[in-house]
Amino acid sequence: YADIALDALPEAFYSRQLVAMQLNFCHEAVLGDSLALKRQVSDDLVLVKGCVNGKDSFLCEFQYQP
């Protein structure tokens, strides 16, 4: 899930210094599932949530140095 969340990061964060990352697993996504990604971006924080059929699968938080 971390690889999926990293692929959803805005390009502006590719070169920034990552300070912390947290990944919360909620529900397994299996082969054939359609995973919808939602992203929330602020100055130093990016949240990426994966959902399957409206049910949370994972939540990943990336914190960057200001």
How long a stretch of residues is the chain? 66
Percent of residues, the chain, with pLDDT higher than 70: 100
pTM of the model: 0.91
Confidence bin at 38 (pLDDT 50/70/90): very high
Rg of the chain, C-alpha, whole Å: 12
pLDDT attached to residue 13: 96
The gap from C-alpha 33 to its chain's centroid, in whole angstroms, comes to 17
Query: What average pLDDT does the structure give for the chain?
Result: 96
- Cβ–Cβ < 8 Å for 60, 17: no
